[in-house]
Structure 1
Amino acid sequence: MQLNLKTITILSLCFFPLASLSQHNNRAARNLHFNFANPGARALGIGGAFTGMADDATAVLANPAGLIQIRKASVTIETRYIHEKYDVPFYGGNIVQQNLFDFDFEFENKSFSNSKFQIPFFSYVLPLENFSLGVFYQVQADVQRDYTTDTVYVFPLDQAVDQIHFFPSHDRVDITMEDLGLSIARKLGEHVSVGLSVFYSQMDYMANSTLLLENSIEESIPVDQLAEGKDNGVGGVLGLLVNPNNWLSAGVSYKAQPSFDYTLQLDQTVELWQDNFLKEHFFKVPDALSFGLAYRVTDFTLIMLDVQRIFYSQLTDDLVDFNGLEDVTQAIEDGTELHFGIERLFSDLIAGRPLALRLGYWQEPYHAPLNNIEDNQILQGSYTSGNDMNVRDAFFLHQFKKDIDHYNVGIGLGWNRQLHFDFACDLADETVCFSFSTVYRLKK
C-alpha cells in the first residue's frame, strides 16, 4: 500500500509515546527501571524491607540513622548477576474497530533480554563514640537496550478510510547512573537516632528512537528523536530510627534524587508536523518516602514490613512534547511499594557458625505513562470526513497496565567474628537477580 505525506504525518504524530523514565516523548525509554530498592543481599532476601531495621552498612541508603547500630569498622561489597526481559506489548499486529466503541487490539507481544554482572554497592563505615560515619558507592541505573519493532496496522470501521500504519522504529537505550556519597548518624538519646547521607551522582543518558517511515514510492524517511547527555547532580537521604525496646524498631527515610540536564533533538529528513529542533531539558529522578517496622517475634525470628511511596509523577512534570496531539496527554501516577520479609536465625547450624534463612515479597507498581483518554477513544475525526480520521495513540493504552510481583529468598552465614556472607535471589516476571554480599569487620 502506498502512503502520501499527509498519511505519514498522521502516523508520525501517533508514534511517539512518552518515556517512562524521561521527560520527553521518546519511545526508546519507555518503562525503564531505576534501582529504588535497598542495596545488599540481606535486604534483597527480605524483599527490601529494611527501613525499620537498618542495622548494617547498607543503611547509608535505606535509612542512614541505622548506622549508629554498627559498632565495628566494616567494609561491605555487593556483586550482582541480573538477567532481565523487557516486553514490547505493541511490537506489531493489528487494531480492528468492531463498532463505535469497541476495538480488538491484536498486538504481537515480543520480549528482548540481556544479562549483566555488576558491582552495584560498596561502603565503609566507621563508628565513633556518639557518631557513625560512612562512605559509599552505588549504581542506581545500568540499562542497555537495542531493538527494532514491526508495523502495526489499523482497520477503522469505515472501510473507505485509508488504512493507517504505525511504522516500525529502531530504539536504542544506554543509561548509567552512579552515586558516590558520605553518611553521618547520631544518637539523640537512648532510643532515637538520626542520619543523613549526601551523594554526588553522575548520569550518562542516551535514549534514541528512529521512526522508519516510507513515502508513496517506498523511499525511506527516517525521523530521529534523540535524547542524549552527560551531567551530574547532588541528592540525599534523611533518616530517623526509633528503638523503644529490644523487640520493636521503626524507621522513616526520605530520598531526594537529583536532576540532570540533557539535549533533545528532532531530526526529520522531510519536515512533517513541526520544525526540527535542538533544545536543552532536564531529567528528574523520582524522590521516595519510606516507612518501616521490624518486629522480633522471638530471639531468633524477625518480621519486617516497609511501605515506600515513589513520586513517579515527577517524571512527567514539564514534559517536552514531540507528538503535537494537544488533546491526548500522558502521565505517570505516584506508586506505593509494599515490602515484606522474615528472617530466621539458627545460632550454630553449620559447624557452630550462625546461619540466617530469609524470605521476602514486594510488589512493583506499574510506572509507565497512561493516556488521559480511554482505550476506546483512540479514534479521532468523523466518519463523514473520510481520510481525516486517524488513530491518536496505540502505545499508552490502559490495557498494558500490570503490577509486578517479586519473590525473594536469601541466606546469611557468619564465618567468624570478622567475616560475614549474604546471598539472595529475586524472582519476577521480567527479571531474575542473584546478589552476593561480603562484610568484613576490621579488628580494633
Structure 2
Amino acid sequence: MKRVLCLAVSAALLGGAGSAFAITDSETNASIPFSFSSPGARSLGMAGAFLGLADDATAAYTNPAGLTQLVQTEISLEARHTEYSTPYIDGGTAAISPFSASGLNISEADSSNRNLSYLSVVVPRDRWAFAFYRHELARFETDFATLNGANVDDFRLFPFRSIADLRIVSLGASAAFKASDRVSLGFGLTRYDFRFDTATVRVDDIDPNDIKIASRQFQNGDDNAFGFNLGARFKLSDSLSLGAAYRKAPRFDYDAINVLYSDIDGNPLPQPQIITSLNKVRFDIPDIFGVGISWRPTDAFVVNFDLDRVMYSQLTDDINTLFDIQSSANRLQLEDGTEVHLGAEYTFANMTAPFSLRAGMWHDPRHSVEFRGAPSGAADAVLATLFAGGRGSENHYSIGGGWAFKSFQLDFAADLSDGLDTYSMSGVYRF
C-alpha cells in the first residue's frame, strides 16, 4: 500500500519558498467559526437581526448610522460563553474512481471559551454621535486527533493530531450624522489585531510497536491591519425603518512551513527536511453587505428582518499549498453565503422595571472549505478526503430577555445550533 505522509503523495519531496496568496490547504483551515452576528445579548436574542433597528450602543459596530437615535451617553459591556464542535476525518475508507467518501468516519472535537466579546462607549451630540468600541470577531481554539489513518484506495493517510488557535480583536471608532429627521449616515474605522497559530503532526502507524513522526506542518502569524464600515438608516414611517451596512475587513499575513521527518519507506531522515516554506500567506476576513427592516406595529412589539451577504470566497481565492500539489489545492473553495435573520422583541412596559422577551431564528450558510468537483487523481482524492468532513449549513434558534431600569439595562440570550451554542450576558449604563 502506498503511504501518504502529509496531504500529498510522500514522494513529492521538492518544495519551494516564497510568497503565497491565500490560506493553505492544511485541514486546520477547513472550518473557521467567524462570528459575524451583531454583538450584544439584546441583538443575539433576536437572532442577530438588528440592522434596521440599531438603537443601542452595539450599533457602533453593526450599523453606525443608528447611533443618532441615542440621547444619553452609554457604556455597553458584553460577555459570552461559546461552545462549538469541529468535524474532522477519523479513519475509514474513501474510493477514488468514482470518488466516494461514504466510508469515512467523521468525529467532532468539542471546545468552549469565555470572553469579553464587546465593549463600547457612545457619546451623542445634537445631530452627531460618536462611539469607541472593542469587539472580538473570532476566538477559536481546537485540538483534535485521529488514532486511525484513513485509506484512499491504495493510499494511506497517516494518523495526525492538530491544534489551532485563532484570535481576531478589533478596536474601532464610529461617527454618525443625522442628515434629516428620516435619514442618518454612519462611518467607522477599525484596527484589527490578528493572531494565528496551528500545528499538525502526522505519525507513521505501519508498525504499532515503532511509531515514527512522519511530518509536521505549522502556521504562525501575528499581524494588524485596518478596515472600515459604512451604515445608513432610513425612517420610512413611524413604524417602519430600513438599515443598510457594508463592512470592509482587512487582510493579514502569516507564515507556514511543512517539515518532513521520514522518507517514503518510513525510515527516519538524517535530519528534518523542509519541503515547503511560505511567507506572507494571506488571511482575508470576508467582507459583508447587509440590509435590514425593522417594523414596530405597536410601542411594545418590534419585528426585525436582516439579509447579510458574506463574501466567504475571499478566504480561499488563490489558495496555496503546503504539500506541493498546487493544482489540487486550487480546487479547495469556500462559496459566498447569505445569512437570513428574523427576530422579535416584546416589552412588558407596565412593569416597574420593564421586561423584554426576545426570540428569533437565522440561517447560517455552509462556510467550511470543500473540494470542488470529482477528483481526477491521487492528490485530488487525498484533499477531497481530508476536507470531506466540513459542517454544512445550519439553522440557529435564539431566545433572550432583559430588564430596563432607570439608568441601567441588563440583557441575556442564548443562540443554539447543532455545531455552535452561544450564551451572552450584557449590560448598558446610561448617564
TM-score (ref. length: structure 2): 0.88
Report the residue type matching 1:180 in the other structure: L
Counterpart Cα distance in 1 of 2:99 and 2:174: 56
Q: 1:129 Cα deviation (Å)?
A: 1.1
Counterpart Cα distance in 1 of 2:298 and 2:3: 73
Q: 1:71 Cα deviation (Å)?
A: 0.4
User: 2:82 touches 2:113 (CA, 8 Å); kept in 1?
Assistant: yes
1:303-330 per-position Cα deviation (integer Å, ceiling 9, x unaligned): 1000000000100123222233455321
Q: How does 1:22-421 map to 2 (within 5 A)?
A: 23-88=23-88, 90-95=89-94, 101=98, 103=100, 105-154=102-151, 156=153, 163-213=154-204, 220-270=212-262, 275-328=275-328, 329-349=331-351, 352-374=352-374, 377=375, 380=378, 393-397=384-388, 400=390, 402-415=392-405, 417-421=406-410
User: 1:60 touches 1:134 (CA, 8 Å); kept in 2?
Assistant: yes
The corresponding residue for 2:270 is: none
Counterpart Cα distance in 2 of 1:192 and 1:276: 54
Counterpart Cα distance in 2 of 1:4 and 1:318: 28
TM-score (ref. length: structure 1): 0.86
Give the secondary structure class of the aligned counterpart of 2:23: coil
Seen in structure 2, the aligned counterparts of structure 1 residues 371 and 3 have a Cα distance that, compared at 3 Å, is: closer
Counterpart Cα distance in 2 of 1:420 and 1:5: 57
Give the secondary structure class of the aligned counterpart of 1:393: helix
Q: 1:259 Cα deviation (Å)?
A: 1.2
User: 1:54 touches 1:63 (CA, 8 Å); kept in 2?
Assistant: yes
User: 1:213 touches 1:223 (CA, 8 Å); kept in 2?
Assistant: no
Give the secondary structure class of the aligned counterpart of 2:275: coil
Seen in structure 2, the aligned counterparts of structure 1 residues 205 and 326 have a Cα distance that, compared at 3 Å, is: closer
User: 2:4 touches 2:157 (CA, 8 Å); kept in 1?
Assistant: no
Report the residue type matching 1:174 in the other structure: D
Counterpart Cα distance in 2 of 1:121 and 1:45: 16
The corresponding residue for 1:384 is: none
Q: 1:395 Cα deviation (Å)?
A: 2.3
User: 1:378 touches 1:392 (CA, 8 Å); kept in 2?
Assistant: no
User: 1:26 touches 1:208 (CA, 8 Å); kept in 2?
Assistant: no
Counterpart Cα distance in 2 of 1:48 and 1:391: 38
Q: 1:223 Cα deviation (Å)?
A: 1.5
Counterpart Cα distance in 1 of 2:422 and 2:64: 25
The answer to whether structure 1 residue 424 and structure 2 residue 426 are counterparts is no
Q: 1:245 Cα deviation (Å)?
A: 1.8
User: 1:29 touches 1:207 (CA, 8 Å); kept in 2?
Assistant: no
Counterpart Cα distance in 2 of 1:373 and 1:96: 14
Report the residue type matching 1:425 in the other structure: A
Q: 1:242 Cα deviation (Å)?
A: 0.2
Report the residue type matching 1:110 in the other structure: S
1:377-406 per-position Cα deviation (integer Å, ceiling 9, x unaligned): 46559xxxxxxx975631234x85621111
Counterpart Cα distance in 2 of 1:288 and 1:402: 20
User: 1:325 touches 1:392 (CA, 8 Å); kept in 2?
Assistant: no
User: 1:200 touches 1:234 (CA, 8 Å); kept in 2?
Assistant: yes
| Identical aligned residues as a percent | 27
Counterpart Cα distance in 1 of 2:9 and 2:221: 29
1:48-73 per-position Cα deviation (integer Å, ceiling 9, x unaligned): 00011100000011100000000000
Counterpart Cα distance in 2 of 1:102 and 1:30: 20
Q: 1:252 Cα deviation (Å)?
A: 0.5
